[in-house]
Structure formats: structure tokens, C-alpha cells
Structure 1
Amino acid sequence: MAAELPSPCCMRGSLHNGNPTGTEETIHGLQTYVARPETGPTKGTLVIIPDAFGWDFVNLRVLADSYAKRGKFEVLMPDFHFGDPFTKSGLDSVFALKGYEPPFYVRWWRMLSTFPVFLFWAWTHRQSVTLPIITNFFKALREAHSSTGEKIGVAGFCWGGRYAILVDSYVDAIYSAHPSFLQIPSEVEPVTKPISFALGDKDVVVPMSKVEQIKGVLKKKENLDSEVIIYEGMEHSFAVRGNPEIELSRKGLEGSETQCVEWFTKHLK
């Protein structure tokens, strides 16, 4: 079955305040944001596959820093978009921060003008282009870790949430937050590694009918550690782009962050 068209929800969200503290390095041929624990040895490597807004999106860089600090992971966020993430102005102009919204007719006009650009971007970063880039990175990373046996986890968000599942054979554990384009159940059925889903009950990209299908597939995998955590009132993109100024959104941001840290603390040790 062909992938569904991207939803306008993929452009929803807010830009967060924060000062990333990691470094930019070239790892296995890709520019990569690297966050490391402040002290002590690392407890495994966690690779983030970002959403459409890319490896330099401040929200994800700050989140990577937090994962490194809280979980003691070495966190890598490569530029899987090859320097071509979706423009962040699409996020800021279409879905402005609460209290700074333009009139509704301006928002609709911006949506109509931005969405075709997103469709073109999604085509240029389709699976046949993107998956080899991602799998080559994970293959190289696995080979580099072969002598130490250090475990590798992958956390994917929105656009990256699907690819986190597709690299199952190269990692030791998976976390997927509100994945886009995921084919359900066909792309969930082959999963063999411990997997954690963070999903919102108001997400039109992964509606509750699809969530129940995911649960059904995982329930049959009796020997596979898995979880599906549903966040009430949360729409698509909540784990990365929820507005921390809104109490309910902040709970979704904080809860999904803790979910990810606890999952990899359990499976990367």
C-alpha cells in the first residue's frame, strides 16, 4: 500500500527556548549533533532520527541534551536530510505560539501556500532516497561498536518515527513518537526489537483505530517487550513541538521524554 499523504499536522508546533550544549561532528560521513553525559561513562548510544525540521531543530537538540544528561547515553542526531530539512519558517508562520497567532484568514493562507512546499519536500525525501542514507549510517555504527558490544537505540519522531521502526535489524531497542507515513500493520509486524510507542489520542495521522491495530500486532509478540503509551489530549508532534507554555502540552512533552529515557535505561544497559 502506498504511503499516505502528509498531514498539515506534520507542520504543527512551537519553537522552544533553549541553548543546546552538544557539539557538531562528522560521524560515518554525516554531520551529526552529539550530546554526551556531563560525567561518567556512557550507557549505550542513542540515535535520534528527527522529524522533517531536521538535525539542527532547537527543540530536538535540547531534547538530545536532556537524554544524555538524564540517561547517561551518548546521543547522536545525524543530518539524514543531507542539509535539506523542511523550512522552519513553515512551523513558525503556520502555527505560531499561543498568544501570537495572526488572524485566522492569514493562518489559512499560510497553510495553503506552505502545504504544497511540504508535499514537494516529502517527495524529495521519499523512502527510496532516505532509507539507504539511514541504513548505511546504522550499519557503520553497528560495525564500529562490534568490538565493544555497546548497545544502540533509536528514537524517531514524526517523519523519523517510521524510519526508527524500519531500522529494527540494526538496533537493540526502538522508541517511536507519533510516526508519520507508517504502514499499519504491515510495517509493525516484522519488528523484533523491544519497541515503545508514544502516541496522542487526538492524532489524526495515527488515529486510535490504527493505535488499536498496533496494540493487536504487539500483543501477538508474546516474547517481545513492548509498550504503547497514549497521551490524552495530545495531537500529532506533541513529543517534540508541543507548546511548553500550555500545561497540558507540557505534560505531554515531559511525559514522553521520561518514557524515552526509561525505555532506553532498561534496554541499553
Structure 2
Amino acid sequence: MSCPECFSGHINPSTPTGHVATLHGLDVYVAGPPENTTERKGIVVIIPDAFGWEFVNNRILADHYAQRGGFLVLLPDFMKGTAAPLYMLDSLHAVMKTGTLWDWVVKPYYIFSMLSGFVPFILRHRPGKSYPIVESFFSALRQSEGPSTPIGAAGFCWGGKHTVLLAHGASTTIDSGSGSRSTPLINAGFTGHPSFLQVPGDIEKLVIPVSFALGDLDNVLKAESIPAVRRVVEAKEDEVGGGEVKVYPGAGHGFCVRADATNDEASARRAAEAEEQAISFFQRIFAKVK
């Protein structure tokens, strides 16, 4: 994960329409499918970027998945109240400005501001510490929903690594009238501009289908790594029952979540296309769940 790429972007001006609940020990933002939906198509759990479950962009994304895909969408507080502070977005904008002498005078202040948010976040939420929290939530969710409910994970930036780890085959044992059996925690994964990935090592361990949305200008998962991701995903397609890699020309890190949808038409289009990619993939894989 690099700074500043993971802390750049824009805030969505829209208003979320879901509600907050407590589920399996965590606070959760819940977005439901349209009221006229007769049967939900499955559950999608968003594992967010560094700004966490309260970031309005992540909640708006949950609303879109629910309304457009017909899913129950859950956005848990996997960071337990210690997500990256939103002031880092403004601090990064200030750090990148170089147009005036004043921009250079105040730059050290904003660099210190960035570091004061970045360093604690990384120490608290590196994958070795955070993944057990994520896996525990998914395990409890699978236990409560049973083996026949389609469950997907959608991970962005920080959440992308966790989605891929779940797709390595994390499972739980479910007892039923006919005995117990091991059941995967998720049936499908989607990740946009993931961080922390080891390529190709993390991709080679996939046993659950994952859809990747990658930007060719991403400075975290760089363009030179994309062919290796694609090669492994395509080679494992029959083994895992699906999987895909879509590359978005002109897209940098954060394009799925933190696009400037108000002032940049191209950014808005790429974000919308990534939403459609995720929704279509989940619908396609969920339809196969028995």
C-alpha cells in the first residue's frame, strides 16, 4: 500500500439511504434491494477502502449494489472505529499543490498531517491483524445464513487483499440434519484497485471466482503486474468456476470509489462501469449456487 495513492480522491455529494444496525458483533451499514423485489439475489459484503464504513462514498456504493443488483448489502465497521481520517483527502490535495510560494511554505504541515493519519492506520490495520476480524464476520454470517445463500465479498484498496484471502477457500463447518459439512465463506469476490497483493502468489491460491477491476495508471497494483494477474485468473477459470480481469484505461488508484463524478465525466463513467462489472459478476455466480 502506498501513500499518497490510497488516500486520494473525491467525496460523493449524494445522501445514503440505508440504515445502521449491529450484526455479528460489528456496527454495519445495511442497504436493501428495491421494495418491489420479491426475492433477494444474495448478500454482498463490502470490505471498504481505508476510509471505512462511515465514508459516504462507500455507503453510496452499497446503496447502488443493493438497488441495481437486488442484493442485501452489508458494509461492516471492520476497523472498529479507527478508519483513516477524512482530513487526509484535503491534506493530500494540499501536498500536491505547487502553484504558489505559499503552497511550498505550508507543505511540511500537510505532510505531517498525512503521516499522522497514515502511520497509525497502517499499524492498526495491516492484513495480519485485520484479516481475522474480517474472516470472523464472514464465518458468523455463513453460519447464520446457511450453505445455500449466495454470499459475495467486494473489496476496495485495503479491502481488496481481504477479498482475495477469503477467495483462497476460507470455510466454516455447518451442521445440518444430514450431518456437518465444510462450506466456503463466500461464493464470489470482486475487487477494485486492490492493495497489498502479492502477484502472482496471492492470485495462484484462488479457489473461489474473483472479478478484478484494475486501472492501468494505478501506482499501487502497477500496470506491469496486470498481465500476470490476467494469466493466472484465465488459467484457473475452469478450476474455480469463473473469474475475470477488466482493465480501465486512464484509471488510477481509487477509481471505483473516489471518482470525481461531478466534474470529470470520464471518471464517472469508469466508476459506473466498475459498478456494473461487480453487479453482473455477482448475479452470474450467485445464479449457480445451489
Give the distance between the partners of 1:42 and 1:222, measured in 2 at CA.
Answer: 27
Give the distance between the partners of 2:124 and 2:251, measured in 1 at CA.
Answer: 29
Count of equivalent residues: 260
Task: Give matches, 1:107-146, under 5 Å.
Answer: 108-109=107-108, 111-117=110-116, 118-146=118-146
Paired residue for 1:17?
13
Paired residue for 1:173?
188
Q: Indicate the larger mover: 31-40 or 217-226.
A: 217-226
Instruction: Assess if the C-alpha contact under 8 Å between 2:4 and 2:92 holds in 1.
Output: no
Q: 1:106 to 1:243 in 2, by over 3 A?
A: farther
Is 2:251 aligned against 1:234?
A: yes
TM superposition shift of 1:110: 5.4
Instruction: Assess if the C-alpha contact under 8 Å between 1:7 and 1:205 holds in 2.
Output: no
Instruction: Assess if the C-alpha contact under 8 Å between 2:46 and 2:155 holds in 1.
Output: yes
Is 2:267 aligned against 1:249?
A: yes
Is 2:196 aligned against 1:202?
A: no
TM superposition shift of 1:38: 2.0
Task: Provide, for residues 142-193 of structure 1, a one-character-per-residue CA deviation record: whole Å limited to 9, x for no partner.
Answer: 111116x111001000000111111112200010100011111111111111
Q: 1:239 to 1:108 in 2, by over 3 A?
A: farther
Give the distance between the partners of 1:106 and 1:165, measured in 2 at CA.
Answer: 42
Q: 1:124 to 1:195 in 2, by over 3 A?
A: same
Instruction: Assess if the C-alpha contact under 8 Å between 1:94 and 1:110 holds in 2.
Output: no
TM superposition shift of 1:108: 4.2
SS of 1:51's equivalent in the other structure is coil
Give the distance between the partners of 2:254 and 2:104, measured in 1 at CA.
Answer: 23
Q: 1:104 to 1:234 in 2, by over 3 A?
A: farther
Q: Indicate the larger mover: 17-26 or 120-129.
A: 120-129
SS of 2:46's equivalent in the other structure is strand
Task: Provide, for residues 1-31 of structure 1, a one-character-per-residue CA deviation record: whole Å limited to 9, x for no partner.
Answer: xxxx533100110011111110100010000
SS of 2:122's equivalent in the other structure is helix
Paired residue for 2:66?
68
Q: 1:165 to 1:106 in 2, by over 3 A?
A: farther
TM superposition shift of 1:115: 3.6
Amino acid of the structure 2 residue aligned with 1:85: A
Q: 1:222 to 1:16 in 2, by over 3 A?
A: closer
Give the distance between the partners of 1:73 and 1:133, measured in 2 at CA.
Answer: 23
TM superposition shift of 1:220: 2.0
Task: Provide, for residues 114-167 of structure 1, a one-character-per-residue CA deviation record: whole Å limited to 9, x for no partner.
Answer: 3423023111112232111000001011111116x1110010000001111111
Structure 1: give runs of 5+ residues left out of the alignment: none
Amino acid of the structure 1 residue aligned with 2:143: E
Paired residue for 1:185?
200
Give the distance between the partners of 2:103 and 2:286, measured in 1 at CA.
Answer: 46
Give the distance between the partners of 1:196 and 1:104, measured in 2 at CA.
Answer: 41
TM superposition shift of 1:107: 7.7
TM superposition shift of 1:69: 0.4
Amino acid of the structure 2 residue aligned with 1:151: P
Q: 1:20 to 1:110 in 2, by over 3 A?
A: farther
Give the distance between the partners of 2:110 and 2:260, measured in 1 at CA.
Answer: 19
Instruction: Assess if the C-alpha contact under 8 Å between 2:91 and 2:111 holds in 1.
Output: no
Structure 2: give runs of 5+ residues left out of the alignment: 170-184
Task: Provide, for residues 180-238 of structure 1, a one-character-per-residue CA deviation record: whole Å limited to 9, x for no partner.
Answer: 11111111111111110001110011111111111121122140311111111111001
SS of 2:256's equivalent in the other structure is helix
Give the distance between the partners of 1:106 and 1:200, measured in 2 at CA.
Answer: 33
Give the distance between the partners of 1:110 and 1:30, measured in 2 at CA.
Answer: 35
Aligned-residue RMSD, C-alpha: 1.8
Paired residue for 1:48?
46
Q: Which has the higher contact order (CA 8 A, sep 6+)?
A: 1
TM-score (norm. length: structure 2): 0.85
Q: 1:226 to 1:106 in 2, by over 3 A?
A: farther
Instruction: Assess if the C-alpha contact under 8 Å between 1:68 and 1:75 holds in 2.
Output: yes
TM-score (norm. length: structure 1): 0.91
Q: Percent identity?
A: 39
Give the distance between the partners of 1:22 and 1:222, measured in 2 at CA.
Answer: 35
Amino acid of the structure 1 residue aligned with 2:71: F
